[in-house]
Amino acid sequence: MALLTDRVAVITGASKGIGRVMSRVFAREGAKVVCAARSGALVAEAVDEIRSDGGEAIAVVADASLETDAKAIIDAGIRAFGRVDTLVNNAGDGGPTKPVQEYATDDWFYTLNSCLTSAYLCSRFAVPAMIAAGRGAIVNIASMAGRRGLAYRVGYCSAKAGQIGMTYGLALELGRHNITVNAIAPGAVAGDRIDRVVKAQADVRGVDVEQMRRTFVDRAPLRRMSTAGDIAALAVFLCSDLARNISGQCIPVTAGEPAS
């Protein structure tokens, strides 16, 4: 049997990257998926991919960092599928790569709202639905930047550290309702996003791009980056009954690199 049969999963940031892969994997594992993202065209493509595979999904065009939009995402899932019992908080923008003295206040709040406020709002509105369903699983897609830091990205590091702290607090609060709350902390994940990170880090440090890329790979004992599929597989597990007694954890996916 598929691991997520009879689950209704909301996945934010579902239009590309990890979120898009995760949406498809969740559907293949039997979940009905609410794909939420700001880009209408891209999130529609994600839903079309799921439906072409025989899965069930709807698209919600929304900015999860806005209170009205976050509520609309959860409400759309309930209207379409009768309930929401699974939430993956994946939405978030990395913000600029700058020395802290050049990091504008607007950049700070934009990055925190994009990564952290969005996770808080979607969790806030999903919890009543999960309590009504008698079960729930929340997975926050954090980052190793929230555990060990990353130079020149003070906003992103702070937002991801906040997601991890929120995970711990919500796990303690929601366990009595049969709701698990966990975080995944990816290291470098192959794709367009890490390409942009590598380029920005190389530029701000004044080093060659390929040299910068090698630092991300060489520090991992397995000598490779993770994939979006690796993150999706762990998220599926954490949202399944196999992980029913795992809560309040932040699990690194780093190709073997120590978490701290």
Q: What is the CATH number of the domain that holds 54?
A: 3.40.50.720
Whether 153 and 216 share a structural domain: no
Regarding beta strands 86-89 and 179-186, do their DSSP bridges make them parallel or antiparallel, or are they unpaired? unpaired
Whether 198 and 129 share a structural domain: no
Assigned domain for 1 exists: no
Q: Check residue 37 and give its pLDDT.
A: 98
pLDDT exceeds 80 at position 223? yes
Whether 199 and 237 share a structural domain: no
pTM summary value: 0.96
Whether 149 and 220 share a structural domain: no
| 131 — pLDDT class (breaks 50, 70, 90) | very high
Domain that holds residue 210: 189-225
Total domains, the chain? 2
Residues 149 and 102: beta-carbon distance below 8 Å: no
Whether 245 and 147 share a structural domain: yes
Whether 83 and 194 share a structural domain: no
pLDDT exceeds 90 at position 259? no
Whether 72 and 115 share a structural domain: yes
Q: Check residue 100 and give its pLDDT.
A: 97
pLDDT exceeds 80 at position 1? no
Assigned domain for 33 exists: yes
CA-wise closest residue to 113 among 188, 38, 189: 38
Residues 115 and 159: beta-carbon distance below 8 Å: yes
Whether 172 and 205 share a structural domain: no
pLDDT exceeds 90 at position 122? yes
18-65 pLDDT, tens digit each: 999 999 999 999 999 999 999 999 999 999 999 999 999 999 999 999
Give the alpha-carbon dihedral of 6, 127, 248, 24, to 10 degrees. 40
Whether 92 and 165 share a structural domain: yes
pLDDT exceeds 90 at position 245? yes
Assigned domain for 2 exists: no
Assigned domain for 16 exists: yes
Assigned domain for 77 exists: yes
Mean pLDDT of the chain: 97
65-103 pLDDT, tens digit each: 999 999 999 999 999 999 999 999 999 999 999 999 999
Under 8 Å CB-to-CB from 173, ≥6 apart: which residues? none
Whether 29 and 61 share a structural domain: yes
Residues annotated as part of the active site: 156
